[in-house]
Amino acid sequence: MSDKSTLDFSKKDLHHYILLLSAPVLLTIYRYHAYPGTFTLPFEIGWADDESIRFFQFLIFFVLMFVIPVLYVKLIMKKSLLDFGLGFGNIKSGVKYLLLIPFVIVPAIYFAAQMPDVQSEYPLAKNLLIDQTNLIPYEIAYIVLYYIAWEFYFRGFLLFGLKDRYGAIAAILIQTVSSCLVHIDKPEGEIMGSIFVGIIFGYIALRTKSIWYVFLLHATIGVLTDLFIIYTR
């Protein structure tokens, strides 16, 4: 009878160990070196200060959660990015899930955007509440730098990278726990919602074999939250 308390290190699992450790390492770097007040602007981009700070926050997040994992997959693991959800996967199934946008996400976000704690949190760049000059480029940066990186890391790198070793359910829970940590200091309802959404989005990513459908769902939630707060509060 084997002793399950024995540390059983296997070289063939080294990539899985690194994937697991990447979450606390990268998220800690992000928390202490990318949040407002933890860095100085390297150069001006012509936006208001809080908009510029958020832009560079998104940029740092993109480097940590997209560029570094992509390099690891291609140079160290020597695998295709398609194995980590960057293909279009099951398009027919994915399109069905996108129907959640008009029928579920839009009305849910509209009502959530009327809540005081959500209005106090978003948009992240508060100058947008009084001046929407840079709204479009800001939201584009939000979508491209933040949401693509988010979905690739949690629903691509972690989820697809761990599912074969630990199973689909465990992989979904691991990426849900990790993504939930980013929501610390957010409104309580958002943190609790991130657990539910993390599980659902993990399931959708596995079902469609792609991150792009959950990316569209997630980015829609983020952008609509900003727009509803800016224009309907």
8 falls in which pLDDT band (50, 70, 90)? confident
Q: Name the residue range of residue 41's domain.
A: 13-232
Dihedral (CA of 31, 35, 41, 44) sign: positive
Instruction: Give the pLDDT of residue 4.
Output: 60
Instruction: Give the pLDDT of residue 129.
Output: 98
The answer to the question of residue 43 being in a domain is: yes
Instruction: Give the pLDDT of residue 184.
Output: 87
Average pLDDT, the chain: 95
Distance CA 33, CA 12 (A): 33
- Write a three-state SS string for 86-133: CCCCCHHHHHHHHCHHHHHHHHHHHHHCCCHHHHHHCCCCHHHHCCCC
Residue 7 has pLDDT above 80, yes or no: no
Instruction: Give the pLDDT of residue 3.
Output: 60
**209-233: average pLDDT:** 97
Distance CA 35, CA 38 (A): 6
Instruction: Give the pLDDT of residue 171.
Output: 98
Instruction: Give the pLDDT of residue 5.
Output: 62
Number of domains in the chain: 1
Instruction: Give the pLDDT of residue 233.
Output: 84
The answer to the question of residue 179 being in a domain is: yes
The answer to the question of residue 7 being in a domain is: no
The answer to the question of residue 84 being in a domain is: yes
The answer to the question of residue 8 being in a domain is: no
Instruction: Give the pLDDT of residue 2.
Output: 52
Task: Note the pTM of the prediction, 2 decimals.
Answer: 0.95
- Chain segment 180-212, per-residue pLDDT in tens: 999 988 999 999 999 999 999 999 999 999 999
**171-177: average pLDDT:** 98
Nearest to 203 by CA among 173, 233, 224, 165: 173
Residue 96: count of CB within 10 angstroms of its CB: 14
Residue 140: count of CB within 10 angstroms of its CB: 11
- Chain segment 94-122, per-residue pLDDT in tens: 999 999 999 999 999 999 999 999 999 99
The answer to the question of residue 5 being in a domain is: no
The answer to the question of residue 6 being in a domain is: no
Residue 12 is classified by DSSP as: G
Share of the chain above pLDDT 70, in %: 97
Distance CA 108, CA 146 (A): 22
The answer to the question of residue 4 being in a domain is: no
Residue 50 has pLDDT above 60, yes or no: yes
> Which amino acid, 195?
I
